[in-house]
Each structure stands twice: as structure tokens, then as C-alpha cells.
């Protein structure tokens, strides 16, 4: 029931940093990298480490991938990251796998390789840049939403028993944005959001943890 992080470059480091900020026990994190130097940094944070090649079955078996609760893949090169994803998906058919790709053309292959979540930082930056031309707070709000610290955070959770039959707008843990009913997304403005059902997954905005900050001080 651990989190596997393959590749401890800048994205991998930022991810671990945020996991720790969210209260994840560093002993639940296993970092794999080919560089001893990168691993020293991970060890200094209290994470478990393994020096090895994550594209190999043996490496992933050595970190007990079949028992992991999720995996983060950010190997620095898209081809390597996609091969790691393929290898991992083969060994752990139901494992949530998040991958960073740098080239937009590799988003679809990454999903085909079995990634649950595909993140393209460059593409995201472009969206935020464009959004920032229509409002100076847009990018800051997005950063706050993505980080658990600060004033708000975006949460995904299962519907609570006491919420069944109630509207999404009535949840008391935050502001309800979207319901996933199976694979179908239902917006806050849609009729079907007025009656939550067993099995629904809710996306909501809740108050942030306050400590820490998504934004650098000015």
C-alpha cells in the first residue's frame, strides 16, 4: 500500500514534496532512479529508495508493485516513461499510474500504454498563460487549487452514505463541482447532480490546509 515514484528529477521531486506536504508518511514512498545522487536526496526526505532501471520487470517486482496503491512516472524522457508505464501496467493491471509527458504527441500513446493520468506541463503552462490574459488571478487560483496548502484544494472522494439522495449542491464538506457516475461526468448545473447515488464519486473544492502556500511571497 505504498506509492512508487520512478524518476527523481524536478517533477518527481516536486511531486514527493507535495505528497509530504499532504501528510503522506515518507516511509510509504519508494523512489526508483538510476542515479545514486538523486536517491540521496530522496533518502534525506525519509523515502525508501532503489537504484535501478524501472523499465525492467525485476525492478518493479523488487518494489512490490502488485501491492502499491499508486505510481508516478516521470523519467525525464517520454520514451522511457512510456516504456515504464507499459511494464508497470503489465505487472499491475489495476494500479493507478500517473505519467508526465513533455511532447503533446505522446499524450495518446501514454494513455494507450495504460496510464490512468497523463500530465503535460508545457501544454498546461500554455493554458494558464492564455487564461492569465483575461484575469490576473486565474493562474494563482489554479495553483492554489492544485496544492493542498493555501486557501483551497481540489478533492476527489466517494459519496458519503448520508449524502445519498441529496443534491450535489447540499454537500457540507466543500463546494460540489462534478459527479462521476461510473465513467459519466455530471456537472453542477445538470439535472442528474440533484440526486446523489451510491457509487458516485464527487469532485469538490474544500478549504485548504492553510499552512504552506502555492504562491511564492511577493
Cell 443534491: give the residue: 167
Whether residue 82 contacts residue 90, with contact meaning beta carbons closer than 8 Å, is answered with: no
Binding at 141: pick from Ca ion, a second copy, none (beta carbon under 5-8 Å per type): a second copy
| Residue 61 buriedness (CB in 10 A; 0-12 / 13-18 / 19+) | exposed
Each residue 126-165 as x (binds a second copy by CB under 8 A) or -, in order, gives xxxxxxxxxxxxxxxxxx-xxxx--xx-xxxx--------
CB nearer to Ca ion: pick between 51 and 127: 127
Within positions 194 to 213, which residues make up the interface with a second copy, using CB under 8 A? 201, 203, 205, 207
Choose, by CB under 8 A, the member of 43, 160, 177, 194 that binds a second copy: 177
Cβ proximity to Ca ion, 144 vs 163, nearer residue: 144
Which of a second copy, Ca ion, none has residue 50 at its interface (CB below 5 to 8 Å by kind)?
A: none
Residues numbered 19 to 38 that lie near a second copy (CB under 8 A) are: 19, 22
Q: Is 100 exposed, middle or buried (0-12, 13-18, 19+ CB in 10 A)?
A: buried
Query: Residue 102: which of 78, 130, 131 has the closest Cα?
Result: 78
Give me the least distance between CB of 65 and Ca ion, in Å please: 30
- Binders of a second copy among 73-132, rule CB under 8 A? 74, 96, 98, 100, 104, 107-108, 111-112, 116-119, 121-132
Q: Which three cell numbers stand for residue 108?
A: 495518446
In terms of C-beta density within 10 A (0-12 exposed, 13-18 middle, 19 or more buried), how is residue 146 classed? middle
Site map 1..40 versus Ca ion, x via CB under 5 A: ----------------------------------------
User: Which span (42-50, 56-64, 76-84, 187-195) binds a second copy, by CB under 8 A?
Assistant: 187-195
Pairing of strands 175-181, 201-207: antiparallel
Q: Which of residues 111-150 bind Ca ion (CB under 5 A)?
A: 144, 147, 150
C-beta closer to a second copy: residue 58 or 182: 182
Which residues on adjacent β-strands are paired with residue 158? 201
199: left (phi over 0), alpha (psi -120 to 50) or beta: left
Whose CB is nearest to Ca ion?
150
| 182 binds a second copy, rule: CB under 8 A | no
Distance CA 49, CA 61 (A): 14
Closest CA to 140 of 130, 149, 123, 128: 128
* Binding residues vs Ca ion (CB under 5 A): 144, 147, 150, 153, 208
Amino acid at each position: 500500500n505504498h506509492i512508487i515514484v520512478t524518476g527523481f528529477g524536478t517533477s518527481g521531486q516536486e511531486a514527493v514534496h507535495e505528497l509530504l506536504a499532504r501528510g503522506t508518511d515518507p516511509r510509504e514512498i519508494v523512489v526508483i532512479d538510476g542515479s545514486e545522487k538523486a536517491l540521496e536526496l530522496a533518502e534525506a526526505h525519509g523515502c525508501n529508495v532503489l537504484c535501478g532501471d524501472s523499465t525492467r520487470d525485476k525492478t518493479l517486482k523488487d518494489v512490490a508493485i502488485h501491492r502499491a496503491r499508486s505510481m508516478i512516472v516521470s523519467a525525464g524522457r517520454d520514451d522511457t516513461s512510456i516504456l515504464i508505464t507499459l511494464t508497470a501496467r503489465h505487472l499491475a493491471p489495476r494500479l493507478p499510474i500517473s505519467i508526465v509527458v513533455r511532447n503533446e504527441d505522446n499524450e495518446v500513446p501514454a494513455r494507450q500504454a495504460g496510464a490512468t493520468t497523463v500530465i503535460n506541463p508545457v501544454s498546461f503552462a500554455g493554458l494558464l498563460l492564455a487564461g492569465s490574459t483575461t484575469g490576473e488571478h486565474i493562474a494563482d487560483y489554479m495553483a492554489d487549487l492544485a496544492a493542498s496548502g493555501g486557501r483551497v484544494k481540489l478533492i476527489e472522494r466517494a459519496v458519503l452514505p448520508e449524502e445519498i439522495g441529496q443534491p450535489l449542491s447540499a454537500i457540507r464538506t466543500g463546494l460540489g463541482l462534478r459527479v462521476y457516475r461510473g465513467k459519466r461526468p455530471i456537472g453542477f448545473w445538470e439535472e442528474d447532480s440533484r440526486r446523489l447515488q451510491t457509487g458516485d464519486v464527487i469532485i469538490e473544492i474544500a478549504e485548504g490546509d492553510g499552512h504552506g502556500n502555492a504562491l511564492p511571497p511577493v
